[in-house]
Amino acid sequence: MTKVSEEIEIDPKLKRYLHALSSVCLTQKRLAYYLAIHDYHRLRDMFLRDRLHHRWDTNDAAKTQERLSWLLNHGRRSEFDQHRHRLTALSAANRVNYIESLKKGDIETARQLVVYTNMIRLPHAGIAAFDYAWSLIICKVGADQSYLPKAEALDRMLEIAKHIQFAYSSWEEFFYAYACGNQYDEAGSSKNTSKETEAHILKLLTGKYSPIHEFEWKFDMTPYLPAPQVENQPSFSN
């Protein structure tokens, strides 16, 4: 990792890779792909900051740290996995009966339907992609706004990226898991971005200038990783 000073200088290639991973969180109509193919310029930062504050209420240092800790240690994946384990224990017929017995129009029911629809196709890590991608955004914006120390934010982003690589086997799998997580998070909400998210992901996968085409899925981060430390390491759970 580049040596830490008052102003952290991130290697351009590493910065671009973290940018590619977090670009899945962009959903602005017509602008999402443009913001994804360009680096962290002022316009992109403004959209990310506004969307982050609106969705996750991270308007100060305390809220930023609290939300980041929740996403890294629990996030939506914890609830999703509880539903998933419950449904997995049932036979196929009993799953159908259970889903049909749920109260209609309920947020909890809407979320269980998301689990039921996607549980077979998802890898063991489930929707962790959703929690991890937003954690990257929180670290980036938090550092820019001095809510997080820049050195801490960078170390966390590196650790998050390692967990993403370990949890998923391809960009396609990562994006699919994120889309499921986004759908689960917004289930029952009047403000739903599922269609925009799916359209943006398709563009990231097929677009000629998409940042993901610049990197193999198992991009080697070894040159950028800090020396192993015993203390102050973020914990994660799938």
Nearest C-alpha neighbor of 175 from the set 199, 151, 144: 199
pLDDT surpasses 70 at 227: no
The Cβ-side half-sphere exposure at 90, using a 13 Å CA radius, reads 14
Query: Which helix (H) or strand (E) segment is 97 a member of?
Result: helix 92-101
Cβ count within 10 A of residue 140: 23
Please report the beta strands in the chain, taking only residues with DSSP state E, as ranges in sequence order.
none
Q: Give the pLDDT confidence score for residue 193 in this predicted structure.
A: 84
pLDDT surpasses 50 at 218: yes
Asked if 78 and 237 touch (Cβ cutoff 8 Å), the reply is: yes
Q: Which of 40-44, 55-59, 128-132, 218-222 has the highest mean pLDDT?
A: 128-132
Query: Is the pLDDT higher at 224 or at 235?
Result: 224
Range from 13-22, 30-39, 210-219 carrying the lowest mean pLDDT: 30-39
Give CA–CA dist 153/137, Å, rounded: 10
Decide: residue 178, CB within 10 A, 0-12 exposed, 13-18 middle, 19+ buried: buried
Please state at what angle helix 128-144 crosses helix 12-22, rounded to 10 degrees.
130
Q: Give the pLDDT confidence score for residue 4 in this predicted structure.
A: 40
Give CA–CA dist 24/129, Å, rounded: 10
Nearest C-alpha neighbor of 56 from the set 146, 48, 192: 48
Under the banding of pLDDT at 50, 70 and 90, the label for residue 229 is: low
